[in-house]
Amino acid sequence: MTVELIGVPMNSSGTTDGVARAPATLRAAGLGGHPTVVDGGDIPVDPPTTTRGPDGVIDGPNLARTLGRIRDRVTAARSAGRRPLLVGGDCPILLGAVAGCQDAGDTPLGLLFVDGHEDAWPARASTTGEAADMEIGWLLGRGLDDLGADLRAVIMPMDAGRIALLGPRDRAELDEAGVASIGDVVPVLDDATVRADPADVTAWALAGVRSGAGPWWLHVDLDVLSTAALPAVDYLQPGGLSWDELDAIVATSIGAGGCVGASVTIYNPDLDPGLAHAPIVARAIARLAASLDAAP
């Protein structure tokens, strides 16, 4: 099945640098060369601002517009029988993908979320105001009433029973801030648990995400990797996975079938002197694209 590459050059910090430069940098490093990948170009992103709104979110109206465009592109790709591969940018692009899949009839949709953080901070409690802290909380229906109407309108909450998180290692930070983990409502399998047996842990998590044989989306935030594997991310933490362990998650999950698309985020070219890691990231995404193309 044809994979459609869609770049999303956004940074939820309200700037045009950092992770917003990732799609262009990764294309220059060779991303998109797989013969079954159609490069659909980039989603347009309006000039951002760093203003934090009363709901606690930076540049919320602009984020809503970008998510709406992602939603439309993902809906079109899925309706045409393609599997979208979103390359960000940062994690809120997932929200547009979820809405687009559901609009196209991929329901009930599951989510395998591979990330170094839980991303479920209440907006006003976030120390950054970046929506990249918040998207899983919103998909669980938390804090939506506090958001502006335009942003709230493009978020389609999911069944908590079809979401699983692999790789978070920010529990100590959450505890220190007095923010509750979402491990009481969805499986949160930390990096140490995943490292013990990436393939088996992934298969176990995916059984709940699919709940039989349902459609599901794969989201990979590259800060799930260790600093040794990839230092070019904004929020470094101890621990994390190797590239081989991440590849095992991708191959096991997509190979099981039912994956309708994927998103990969958080590579920051500004933190990559000489862009030494860009080809490594591009090759990893190409492997993911090949798995998507060949998947049942």
Quickly state the pLDDT bin for 78 (edges 50, 70, 90): very high
Q: Is the pLDDT of residue 1 over 90?
A: no
Average pLDDT, integer, range 105-111: 97
Alpha-carbon torsion, ordered 180, 148, 268, 78, to 10 deg: 100
Tokens representing residue 57 in the block: 């979110």
Q: Which of 15, 75, 80 is nearest to 45 (CA)?
A: 15
Average pLDDT, integer, range 251-263: 97
Alpha helices in the chain (DSSP H): 22-28, 60-79, 93-103, 135-139, 149-152, 171-177, 191-196, 198-210, 243-255, 278-294
Percent of the chain with pLDDT over 70: 100
41-71 pLDDT tens trace = 999 999 999 999 999 999 999 999 999 999 9
Quickly state the pLDDT bin for 35 (edges 50, 70, 90): confident
What letter does residue 34 receive in the DSSP assignment? S
Tokens representing residue 200 in the block: 């088996």
Question: Whole-prediction pTM value?
Answer: 0.98
Quickly state the pLDDT bin for 183 (edges 50, 70, 90): very high
Q: Say how far apart CA 218 and CA 70 lie, in whole Å.
A: 16
Quickly state the pLDDT bin for 34 (edges 50, 70, 90): confident
Confidence at residue 196, expressed as pLDDT on a 0 to 100 scale: 98
Q: Say how far apart CA 16 and CA 167 lie, in whole Å.
A: 28
Q: Degrees (nearest 5) of the Cα angle 132, 2, 254?
A: 60
Confidence at residue 212, expressed as pLDDT on a 0 to 100 scale: 84
Q: Say how far apart CA 3 and CA 242 lie, in whole Å.
A: 25
Alpha helices in 197-277 (DSSP H): 198-210, 243-255
Q: Is the pLDDT of residue 131 over 90?
A: yes
Confidence at residue 195, expressed as pLDDT on a 0 to 100 scale: 98
Confidence at residue 32, expressed as pLDDT on a 0 to 100 scale: 80
Confidence at residue 13, expressed as pLDDT on a 0 to 100 scale: 97
The superfamily (CATH) of domain 3-294 is Ureohydrolase domain (3.40.800.10)
70 three-state secondary structure: helix
Interstrand relation of 110-114 and 259-265 (parallel, antiparallel or unpaired):
unpaired
Confidence at residue 49, expressed as pLDDT on a 0 to 100 scale: 97
Q: Say how far apart CA 11 and CA 18 lie, in whole Å.
A: 7
Quickly state the pLDDT bin for 33 (edges 50, 70, 90): confident
pLDDT, mean over the chain: 96
